[in-house]
Amino acid sequence: MKKYKCLIADDSPMELDIMEMLVGKIGRLEIVAVCDNSLKAQQILTSQEIDLVFSDINMPELSGIGLLKSLKKAPVFIFASAHTEYAIESYDLNVIDYIVKPVSLERVLKSANKAIEYLDLKNMSETRQPQAPHTDNDYFFIRESNDLIKLHFEDVAYIESMGDFSKIFTINDKKHITLVSLKNLEMQLPSTSFTRIHKQYIVNHNLITAISTDELVVNGKYTLPLSTSLRQALLDKVVNKKILTRHLTKES
């Protein structure tokens, strides 16, 4: 199977060594550069073809976020930071994952597998024409590999963006990949069932079981991030008319 070239950037020598050791255990990743500052990383990223970057955020002169923004054609990024306040901004930049330090093999492996899946599907999409879902009645079809898969609206729990394609999760814990972007899915799926809650997620709002300030729960078991900018629209659409209140207004 194809190996992907990756770069690691962190200004802490100890954390750089730990990340290099952990990433080195992942067979499908080839470490081609290890940088102790983001300026070195930028030079390599603008001169070589790199598939995946593991980067710290708080680095002198140029932050990890600044590094990503400085690239005209950025590879897939995974941020690792002890500061969780950067997570929302990172996801708005289409970072594929955000690891909270201290890092562990389990967490790095989970992020790496997500990135590898994305890169594999991206390579596949370059050789195939995307197929838009066909919606009608209470179901739609997607093309997956060489098959047409029928999905009922009520069985779809949520959809996650994977860049140019999307990952559809069903209530029975199955997942399907379609070479259709989340933006295109949002335009084609019925708004009576599906709502955008985050740059990376659409949910079946009929299956929402709890909503907090910055996340929600779907079908009682899937916890997803909720964008601040989209929260009020979700409340207006799904919740406000259904809230039981302490006081009722009598009709005259």
Question: Which range, of 116-125, 173-182, 231-240, averages the lowest pLDDT?
Answer: 116-125
Residue 119, number of CB atoms within 10 A of its CB = 19
CA atoms within 13 A on the CB side of 24: 9
CA distance 85 to 194: 28
Per the prediction, the chain carries an average pLDDT of 88
Q: What is the mean pLDDT of residues 95-99?
A: 89
Is the confidence at residue 130, as pLDDT, over 80?
no
Strands 208-211 and 29-35: unpaired
Q: Write down the pLDDT at residue 123.
A: 76
Q: In what order do the strands lie in the sheet with 147-152?
A: 134-136, 139-144, 147-152
What is the predicted pLDDT for the residue at 179?
A: 82
> What is the reported pLDDT for 154?
94
Grade residue 252 by pLDDT with cuts at 50, 70 and 90: very low
The span from the CA of 38 to the CA of 61, in Å, is 8
92, pLDDT greater than 80? no
Looking from the CA of 196 toward its CB, the CA atoms found within 13 Å total: 16
CA 218 to chain centre: 17
Task: State the average pLDDT over residues 180-205.
Answer: 92
Distance (Å, whole) CA 48 – CA 34: 13
pLDDT of residue 138: 87
**34-43, 79-88, 143-152: range with highest mean pLDDT:** 34-43
Considering the entire predicted model, what is its pTM?
Answer: 0.61
**247 against 161, higher pLDDT:** 161
Residue 133 is predicted with a pLDDT of 56
Quick one: pLDDT at residue 38? 95
**How sure is the predictor about 136, in pLDDT bands with cuts at 50, 70 and 90?**
low
Task: List, in order of start, the domains of the chain with CATH numbers.
Answer: 4-125 (3.40.50.2300), 134-242 (2.40.50.1020)
| 14-47: pLDDT as tens digits | 999 999 999 999 999 999 999 999 999 999 999 9
- Give the pLDDT score at 177: 87
pLDDT attached to residue 251:
52
